[in-house]
C-alpha cells in the first residue's frame, strides 16, 4: 500500500514539475541567459517603461472601479432577496467565462471606427479603440467579477442579524457596512482585490484586440512581451515576463496567507453567528 | 423562508442605491457592449451569419479547439484528482508550497504562460530537445496546443475536488475497506460517486477555459490554418481583415458555448453542494 502511495505521489509531483515548475523556472533562466546587464537593459528600455506605465495606469483605474462595483453588488445580492438575483450573478460572471478575445471585441464593435458609436465618437474627436481608454475598458471588463466572486459566497453564509441589530439601534447603511459587515469580509475583500490587480496587470487577449494589430502607442506589459518575443528578442521578452511572474508569485504568497486568516475569521464568524441566532430564538430569521 | 426573505428586503437600507449602481456599471461594462456584439453578428441576416460561422477555417477551428480542450480537460480530470488526493490525504514535505503553486496558471498572465511553455517544449527547450529526436513535436503542433490548454486548466479540477475531499470522512473508505472491499473498490464505489459532481464541474470549468484560451495557446500552437488555429484566433484574424460582422458571428458561437458550459457548471455545483450538505 505504501509503495502504491509513494509511486502515485511521485507521479503527481513529477507531473506538476513538468507542467508548472519547469515553465516557471524557464522564464527566469531565459531572462538571465545573457546575464544581469542584458536583463536590466531589457526591463528599463523606454518601450518597457512605457508599457509598465500603461499597465499600472489601467490597473489603477480598473481595480478601484471594480472595488466600488463589487461592494455595491455584493451588498444588493446578499442582503436582499429580489427576482433575477441568480441571473444577475450569472451576468456578473460572464466576463470570467468567455474568451478574453470577446472582451476586446465587444468594445471594438461598440466604440471602434466601424462600431455603433464609432461615427459619433469620430465626429467629436474621441478615440477609444486602438488607444488607452480601450485598454482600460477591456481591463475593467475582464476583471469585473473578481471582487464580487470573493465577497458573495462569504456574505451569503453570514447572518444579517447583527446588521439588523445595528440598524435598529439607529446606524446608517454606510455605518452598518463599515463597522459590522466589512470587518467580517476584509480578508476576502483583500484577496479579491489582489486577484483583480494581478489579472488587470496580466490581461492579454482583450488588450491585444483593442490595441489592434498596428502596435505602438498603446502597449501594456503583456503586449510588450509578445512584441519582443515575436521579434526573436527572447531575453527582453522573458526579462519583462519576470516582472509579471514575480507579481503572480507575490499573489500566490498573499493568497496562502489570506486563506489561513479567512479560515480563522470564518470559524469565529460561524461561532458568533450561531451564538446570536441562539440568543434570539424569535430573531429576524424566524 | 418567504417570510424571512421579506423581512430581509424590508429591514436593511441601501437596496436601491447599491442595486442601481450595480446595474448601471454592469450595463456600461458588460450588457451594452455584449448587446452590440449580438446586434452586429445578427444584423447580417441568417444566410450571411451561417456562411461566416461555417467557413472551412472556422469549422476546422471548432474541431481543433473543442477536441484539444476536451483532451486537456480529461488530462486535468485524472491528474487533478490525483493531485487533490495527494494534497488532502497524503502529507508530504513541501505540501503547502505545492498547494500554493497549483494556482500559478490563474495568477500568471496567459501570454507569459504561453512563452514559458514554448521555452520548455520548443525544439531547443529543456523537454523539447529531448522529445523532438524521438519524433514528438511538443511545440507548434496539436501536442503544443494540448500542453497550453492543460496548463491553463490545471487549477480547476484540483480546486473543485479539494474542498469536497477535505470534508469527506476517511472513515467512509475505511468502513468499505473493513467490510472486505479492496482499496480500489472502496475508492471506486464509496468515494468516487461523492466526488463526481465536483470532478465534473472542475472538468467543465477547465473545458470552458480551454475553449476560450488565447494568450497561452497562440505562442506554442504554431497557428497553422485548418490545423492548430483555435477559434479565438479566428476571431482576431477576421477582425484584422476588417470582417467585423464575421468576427462577431464566430464570437457569438463562442459566447453560446461558454454560456451552455456555465449553465452545466452551475447545475453541477448545486449537486456538489447537496452532497456536501448531506
d(CA B127, CA B112) in angstroms, rounded, equals 18
In B8-86, beta strands by DSSP E = none
Average pLDDT, chain B: 89
d(CA A116, CA B270) in angstroms, rounded, equals 39
**Cβ–Cβ gap B244/A19 under 8 Å:** no
Asked which of A33-37, A83-87, A102-106, B134-138 is least confident by mean pLDDT, the reply is: A83-87
Domain presence at residue B116: yes
Q: What is the CATH number of the domain that holds B171?
A: 1.10.3720.10
Q: Please write the tens of the pLDDT for every residue from B168-205.
A: 888 777 777 777 777 788 788 888 888 998 999 999 99
Domain presence at residue B83: yes
Residues B51 and B36 in one domain: no
Domain presence at residue B259: yes
Q: What is the 3-state secondary structure (H, E, C) of chain A?
A: CHHHHHHHHHHHHHHHHHHHHHHHHHHHHHHCCCHHHHHHHHHCCHHHHHHHHHHHHHHHHHHHHHHHHHHHHHHHHHHCCCCCHHHHHHHHHHHHHCCHHHHHHHHHHHHCCCCCCHHHHHHCCCCCCCCHHHHHHHHHHHHCHHHHHHHHHHHHHCCCHHHHHHHHCCCCHHHHHHHHHHHHHHHHHHHHHHHHHHHHHHCCHHHHHHHCCCCCCCCCHHHHHHHHHHCCCHHHHHHHHHHHHHHHHHHHHHHHHHHHHHHHHHHHHHHHHHHHHHHCCCCCCC
Residues B244 and B184 in one domain: yes
Residue among B96, B215, B244 minimizing CB distance to A109: B244
Report the domain count for chain B. Answer: 2
Domain presence at residue B8: no
Residue among A20, A105, A247 minimizing CB distance to B235: A105
Domain presence at residue B207: yes
Q: Which of residues 182-221 of A touch B (CB under 8 A)?
A: 195, 198, 201-205, 208-209, 213
Please report the pLDDT score of residue B10 as a whole number.
55
Q: What is the DSSP letter of B189?
A: I
Residues B55 and B147 in one domain: yes
Cβ atoms of A214 and A129 closer than 8 Å: no
Q: Please write the tens of the pLDDT for every residue from A168-214.
A: 888 888 888 888 888 888 888 998 999 999 999 999 999 999 987 66
Please report the pLDDT score of residue B3 as a whole number.
41
Average pLDDT, chain A: 87
Please report the pLDDT score of residue B4 as a whole number.
45
Please report the pLDDT score of residue A28 as a whole number.
97
Tell me the chain A residues in contact with residue B115 when contact means C-beta distances shorter than 8 Å: 27, 225, 229, 237-238, 241
Quote the ipTM score: 0.89
Q: pLDDT band for B144, please (50, 70, 90 cuts).
A: very high
Tell me the chain A residues in contact with residue B231 when contact means C-beta distances shorter than 8 Å: 99
A258: exposed, middle or buried (Cβ count in 10 Å: 0-12, 13-18, 19+): buried
Please report the pLDDT score of residue A286 as a whole number.
27
Q: pLDDT band for B209, please (50, 70, 90 cuts).
A: very high
Residues B57 and B192 in one domain: yes
Tell me the chain B residues in contact with residue A13 when contact means C-beta distances shorter than 8 Å: 86, 92, 98
Domain presence at residue B5: no
pLDDT over threshold 50, residue A95: yes
d(CA B87, CA B99) in angstroms, rounded, equals 7
Range of the domain at B32: 13-43
Q: How far is B110 from chain A (nearest CA, A)?
A: 7
Long-range own/partner contacts, residues B125-128 (CB < 8 A, 24 or more apart): B125/A26, B126/A22, B126/A26, B127/A18, B127/A22
Q: If you search the block for the grid coordinates 447580417, which residue do you land on?
A: B44
Cβ atoms of B212 and B232 closer than 8 Å: yes
d(CA A10, CA B100) in angstroms, rounded, equals 18
For B173, the 3-state DSSP assignment is helix
Cβ atoms of A191 and A257 closer than 8 Å: no
Asked which of A132-146, A158-172, B153-167 is least confident by mean pLDDT, the reply is: A158-172
A131: exposed, middle or buried (Cβ count in 10 Å: 0-12, 13-18, 19+): middle
CATH numbers and ranges of domains, chain A: 34-280 (1.10.3720.10)
d(CA A285, CA A189) in angstroms, rounded, equals 26
Residues B36 and B147 in one domain: no
Residues B157 and B184 in one domain: yes
**Cβ–Cβ gap A101/B151 under 8 Å:** no
Residues B17 and B120 in one domain: no
Residues B27 and B87 in one domain: no
Residue among A22, A97, A173 minimizing CB distance to B13: A173
Domain presence at residue B2: no
Q: Please write the tens of the pLDDT for every residue from B228-254.
A: 999 999 999 999 999 999 999 999 999
d(CA B103, CA B29) in angstroms, rounded, equals 27
Cα angle: B39, vertex B41, B45; to 5 degrees: 95
Q: How far is A204 from chain B (nearest CA, A)?
A: 6
Provide the grid cell at B59. Answer: 469549422
Please report the pLDDT score of residue A2 as a whole number.
79
Residues B58 and B37 in one domain: no
List phi, psi (to 5°) of A276. Answer: -65, -45
Q: Which of A26, A83, A128 to mutate to test the interface with B (most CBs of B within 10 A)?
A: A26
Tell me the chain A residues in contact with residue B15 when contact means C-beta distances shorter than 8 Å: 76, 79-80, 82
Amino acid at each position: 500500500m505504501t509503495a502504491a502511495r509513494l509511486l502515485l505521489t511521485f507521479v503527481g509531483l513529477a507531473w506538476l514539475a513538468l507542467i508548472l515548475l519547469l515553465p516557471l523556472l524557464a522564464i527566469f533562466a531565459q531572462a538571465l541567459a545573457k546575464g544581469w546587464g542584458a536583463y536590466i537593459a531589457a526591463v528599463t528600455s523606454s518601450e518597457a517603461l512605457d508599457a509598465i506605465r500603461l499597465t499600472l495606469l489601467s490597473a489603477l483605474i480598473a481595480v478601484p472601479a471594480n472595488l466600488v462595483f463589487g461592494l455595491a453588488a455584493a451588498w444588493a445580492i446578499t442582503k436582499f432577496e429580489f427576482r433575477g438575483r441568480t441571473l444577475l450573478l450569472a451576468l456578473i460572471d460572464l466576463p470570467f467565462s468567455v474568451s478574453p478575445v470577446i472582451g476586446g471585441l465587444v468594445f471594438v464593435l461598440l466604440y471602434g471606427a466601424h462600431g455603433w458609436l464609432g461615427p459619433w465618437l469620430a465626429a467629436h474627436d474621441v478615440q477609444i479603440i486602438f488607444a488607452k481608454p480601450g485598454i482600460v475598458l477591456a481591463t475593467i471588463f475582464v476583471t469585473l467579477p473578481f471582487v464580487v466572486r470573493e465577497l458573495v459566497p462569504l456574505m451569503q453564509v453570514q447572518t444579517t442579524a447583527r446588521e439588523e441589530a445595528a440598524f435598529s439601534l439607529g446606524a446608517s447603511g454606510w455605518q452598518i457596512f463599515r463597522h459590522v459587515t466589512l470587518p467580517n469580509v476584509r480578508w476576502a475583500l483583500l484577496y479579491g482585490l489582489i486577484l483583480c490587480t494581478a489579472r488587470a496587470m496580466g490581461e492579454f487577449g482583450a488588450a491585444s484586440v483593442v490595441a489592434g494589430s498596428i502596435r505602438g502607442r498603446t502597449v501594456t506589459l503583456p503586449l510588450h512581451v509578445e512584441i519582443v518575443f515575436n521579434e526573436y528578442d527572447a531575453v527582453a521578452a522573458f526579462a519583462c515576463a519576470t516582472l509579471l511572474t514575480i507579481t503572480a508569485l507575490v499573489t500566490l504568497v498573499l493568497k496562502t496567507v489570506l486563506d489561513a486568516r479567512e479560515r480563522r475569521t470564518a470559524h469565529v464568524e460561524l461561532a458568533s453567528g450561531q451564538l446570536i441566532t441562539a440568543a434570539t430564538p424569535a430573531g429576524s430569521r424566524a | 423562508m418567504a417570510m424571512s426573505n421579506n423581512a430581509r428586503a424590508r429591514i436593511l437600507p441601501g437596496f436601491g442605491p447599491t442595486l442601481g449602481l450595480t446595474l448601471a456599471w454592469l450595463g456600461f461594462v458588460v450588457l451594452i457592449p455584449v448587446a452590440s456584439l449580438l446586434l452586429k453578428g445578427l444584423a447580417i441576416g441568417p444566410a450571411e451569419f451561417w456562411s461566416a460561422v461555417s467557413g472551412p477555417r472556422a469549422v476546422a477551428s471548432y474541431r481543433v479547439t473543442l477536441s484539444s480542450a476536451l483532451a486537456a480537460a480529461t488530462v486535468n480530470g485524472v491528474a487533478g484528482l490525483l493531485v487533490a488526493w495527494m494534497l488532502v490525504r497524503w502529507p508530504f514535505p513541501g505540501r503547502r508550497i505545492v498547494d500554493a503553486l497549483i494556482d500559478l496558471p490563474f495568477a500568471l498572465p496567459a501570454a507569459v504562460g504561453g512563452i514559458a511553455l514554448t521555452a520548455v517544449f520548443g525544439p531547443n527547450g529543456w523537454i523539447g530537445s529531448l522529445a523532438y529526436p524521438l519524433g514528438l513535436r511538443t511545440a507548434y503542433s496539436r501536442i503544443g496546443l494540448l500542453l497550453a490548454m492543460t496548463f491553463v486548466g490545471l487549477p480547476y479540477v484540483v480546486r473543485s475536488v479539494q474542498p469536497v475531499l477535505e470534508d469527506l470522512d476517511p472513515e467512509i473508505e475505511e468502513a468499505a475497506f473493513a467490510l472486505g472491499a479492496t482499496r480500489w473498490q472502496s475508492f471506486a464505489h464509496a468515494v468516487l460517486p461523492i466526488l463526481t459532481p465536483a470532478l465534473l464541474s472542475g472538468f467543465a470549468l477547465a473545458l470552458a477555459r480551454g475553449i476560450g484560451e488565447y494568450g497561452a495557446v497562440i505562442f506554442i500552437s504554431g497557428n497553422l490554418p485548418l490545423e492548430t488555429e483555435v477559434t479565438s484566433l479566428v476571431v482576431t484574424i477576421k477582425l484584422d481583415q476588417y470582417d467585423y460582422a464575421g468576427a462577431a458571428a464566430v464570437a457569438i458561437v463562442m459566447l453560446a458555448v461558454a454560456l451552455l458550459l456555465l449553465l452545466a457548471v452551475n447545475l453541477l455545483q448545486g449537486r456538489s453542494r447537496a452532497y456536501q450538505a448531506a
